[in-house]
Structure 1
Amino acid sequence: MSGDGPVVVLVGPPGAGKTTVGNAVASTLSVGFRDTDVDVEQVAGKSIADIFVEDGEPVFRELERTAVATALAEHDGVLALGGGAVSDETTRSLLRGHRVVFLDVGLSDAVGRVGFNRDRPLLLDSPRAQLKRLLDERRPVYTEVASVTVDTSGRAPDDVAEEVVGHAR
């Protein structure tokens, strides 16, 4: 592991709890929390949903790739990546040498957490089916980049955060 960069990077699908768990882990470790989705929205000056609709997914993915690279270089706290960030080979390469925790979640838990959230553009059409497809497609990639996998299904965020803290130290 490199001494530079985030103390832990959280990856996983929508509904895994990256933001909720990430904030709890950062609080416990007394470090900052950063979410690359928020970074993308700040740079673009609009929501991710609006980027998808107005500019298209390729533009979003390029903004995301840049946001992840910047955050990995600058941030020394807890970092949460957008659910699809690991689909990019450059991003996967940049994650090597970092402590990466894959927050895994089952379909029913993810659907319950995500619901019909309009801020998740890839889940607008048939959310349950789309989420299942994303989980199936991305799980091998999450596993590839992760140092450790933490199952979040049926667990309270504080319980998951406690386990992640154990892996971050």
Structure 2
Amino acid sequence: MSENQQDSVVGAGFALKKTVVMVGMMGAGKTAVGRALALRLGVPFLDSDAEIEAAANMTVPEIFERDGEPFFRAKETQVISRLLDEERGILSTGGGAFLARENRANITAHGVSVWLNADLDLLWQRVRHKDTRPLLRTANPRATLAEIYAARVPLYAMADVSVVSLPDLSIDEMVDRVVATLLTQRPDVLEKTDA
């Protein structure tokens, strides 16, 4: 195996050289697009929230309720660090993960962050009927979402790459956008192979 192949995960006509970390607001499509992107590239799909839930044998909302958000964020940082170290693939993170300076630095050092940039109206359409979002369990979840959005967008804007999400795009079309963006803006992360 050549040195270049040792540093890449090769599959489905692509060579992935660093873990791609999906970041963005709840409802942006990090898990759905991330899972489809991993399938397209022929690499593993990892989900930090799913890993935390499996380790705790509880859902994220249950962890928030029992242990509080600071406890959850500390565990999230540990899990993201472990996943970045263990395996190269596509990593979906929770909406708040990229807010922590330690997570941003770790992601930049060991991977590449891709912000799925969806506007507030699209996010609200996607999350308004779900009760699995602990931060939206408020008297006015739309206003809460708007506050969270306003606070987080400047931090998401620090991501290595931004891909705009539009309401009429399918998951596969979003994957096309992410792949095209990585190939053109970050050839150090993703390149096409002859396979």
* TM-score (norm. length: structure 2): 0.80
Q: Residue 6 and residue 34 in structure 1: after superposition, are their counterparts in 2 closer, same or farther (change >3 A)?
A: farther
1:151 to 136, 160, 164: 164
Which letter does structure 2 place at the counterpart of 1:48?
V
More strand by share: 2
Q: Does 1:70 align with 2:85?
A: no
- The 8 Å contact of residues 11 and 83 in structure 1, kept in 2 or not, is answered as yes
Once the two structures are TM-superposed, the CA of residue 6 in structure 1 deviates from its matched residue by 4.5
What TM-score do you get using the length of structure 1 for normalisation? 0.92
SS at match of 2:46: strand
Distance 1:7 1:68, change over 3 A: closer
Q: How does 1:65-104 map to 2 (within 5 A)?
A: 65-97=77-109, 98-104=111-117
| Percent identical residues | 36
CA-based RMSD: 1.5
CA deviation digits over 1:86-127, x for unaligned, max 9?
111111110123221100111111011112322110011122
Q: Which residue of 2 aligns with 1:137?
A: 151
Q: Aligned residue pairs: how many?
A: 166
Q: Which runs of 5+ in 1 are unaligned?
A: none
The equivalent of 2:179 in structure 1 is: 165
Unaligned runs of 5+ in 2: 1-6, 9-16, 183-189
Task: Give the Cα separation in 2 of the matches to 1:49 and 1:106.
Answer: 24
Task: Find runs of 4+ consecutive structure 1 residues off by over 3 angstroms.
Answer: 3-7
How far 1:75 moved relative to its partner? 2.3
**Is the Cα contact below 8 Å between 1:6 and 1:72 reproduced in 2?**
no
Rounded Cα–Cα distance in structure 1 between residues aligned with 2:48 and 2:135: 17
Pairing 1:39–2:51 present: yes
Partner of 1:112: 125
